[in-house]
Homo-oligomer: A and B are copies of this chain.
Amino acid sequence: MKASIITIGDEILIGQIVDTNSGFIAKSLDRIGVEIHEMISISDNKQHILSTFEKLQDEVDLVIITGGLGPTKDDITKKTFCDYFDDELIQNDQVLKHVTQIIEGFYKRKITQLNIDQALVPSKCTVLHNQVGTAPGMWMKKGNTVFISLPGVPFEMKYLVENEIIPKIVIEYQRPYIIHKTVLTYGIGESLLAETIENWENNLPDFIKLAYLPSPGRVRLRLSARGNDKEFLEKSISKNVTSLSKILGNSIVGFEDDETLEIVIGRLLTQQNKTIATAESCTGGKIAQILTSVSGASNYFKGSVVSYATEAKIAILGISEDSIKKHSVVSAEVVKEMAINVQKMMKTDYAIATTGNAGPSKGDSEAEVGTVFIALATPNEVIIEEFNFGQPRDKVIDRAAIKSLEMLRKEILKNV
Contacts and interface: CB of A to CB of B under 8 A. Distances in A.
A14 B40 contact: no
A390 interface: no
B306 A306 contact: yes
Interface of A: 11-20, 22-28, 30, 36-43, 55, 211, 213, 222, 277-278, 280, 284-289, 291-293, 295, 297-298, 301-309, 311-312, 315-316, 345-347, 359-361, 363-364, 393-394, 397
A304 B303 contact: no
Contact of A284 (B27, B288, B363): B288
Contact of A298 (B43, B304, B345, B363): B363
Given A298-B309, A359-B295, A363-B298, A211 B11 contact: yes
Nearest to A211: B16
Contact of A308 (B11, B20, B292, B394): B292
Number of copies: 2
A305 B308 contact: no
Nearest to A178: B14
A358 to B, nearest CB: 8
A211 B286 CA distance: 33
A213 B301 CA distance: 36
4 residue pairs, one from A and one from B, having the closest CB atoms? A284-B292, A15-B27, A285-B288, A285-B285
A377 to B, nearest CB: 16
A376 to B, nearest CB: 18
A139 B279 CA distance: 53
A79 B57 CA distance: 29
Contact of A39 (B13, B30, B37, B397): B13
A289 B289 contact: yes
Contacts of A345: 315-316
Given A26-B13, A393-B295, A311 B302 contact: yes
Contacts of A42: 37-38
Contact of A15 (B25, B287, B298): B25
Contacts of A297: 284, 308
Contact of A289 (B23, B285, B307): B285
13 contacts: A13-B39, A17-B23, A18-B23, A284-B288, A285-B304, A295-B359, A297-B308, A298-B363, A302-B309, A303-B306, A315-B347, A316-B316, A316-B346
